[in-house]
Amino acid sequence: MHEISIAGAIIDAVLDAAGKNNARKVNQVYLEIGELTALNPDQLKFIFETITAGTVAEGAMFDIRVIKLSITCKKCSYNGPIELSEKMHFFVPVIKCPQCDGSDVKIMAGRECCVKKINIS
Ligand SMILES: [Zn+2]
């Protein structure tokens, strides 16, 4: 359940931005969560609803976009998405190129965990 600590950090950032902009209310929060973070969007939303109670972000809508894992292979220069196998369970994901099976790959997307935009009033 690493969702709780990450959700806390995200809400801190949202409240900080809201405070700096003299927001009376946070209406909507847009987030990007990489597939490799193994965060569960439904669980995150639930935690957000709980921890924003009594803040300007109470009742805000959370729009969570999951970013698919995408790599560039240094061997065959494959560039694109790869599927994560279920059995990895994200503990030590072995990421291999789907084209040449090489493991010398660079992760281009899938590690994100950030607030893209917030809508305040
Ligand atoms: Zn390759």
- CATH classification of the domain holding 57: 3.30.2320.50
Structural domain including 75 reads: 70-108
Q: Are residues 64 and 90 in the same domain?
A: no
Domain count, the chain: 2
Residues with Cβ < 8 Å from 108, sequence gap 6 or more?
Answer: 70, 71, 72, 79
> Could you tell me the distance, in angstroms and rounded to a whole number, from the CA of residue 75 to the centre of ligand 1?
5
Ramachandran region, residue 13 (left: φ > 0; alpha: ψ -120 to 50; beta: rest): alpha
Q: Are residues 77 and 64 in the same domain?
A: no
pLDDT in tens, the chain (121 residues): 588 899 999 999 999 999 999 999 999 999 999 988 889 999 999 999 999 999 999 999 999 999 999 999 999 999 999 987 655 555 566 788 999 999 999 999 999 999 999 999 9
Q: Are residues 16 and 62 in the same domain?
A: yes
Closest of 93, 117, 114, 120 to residue 105, by C-alpha:
93
> Could you tell me the distance, in angstroms and rounded to a whole number, from the CA of residue 73 to the centre of ligand 1?
5
> Could you tell me the distance, in angstroms and rounded to a whole number, from the CA of residue 100 to the centre of ligand 1?
4
Q: What is the pTM of this model?
A: 0.83
Q: Which residues surround ligand 1, an ion (CB under 5 A)?
A: 73, 75-76, 78, 97, 99-100, 102
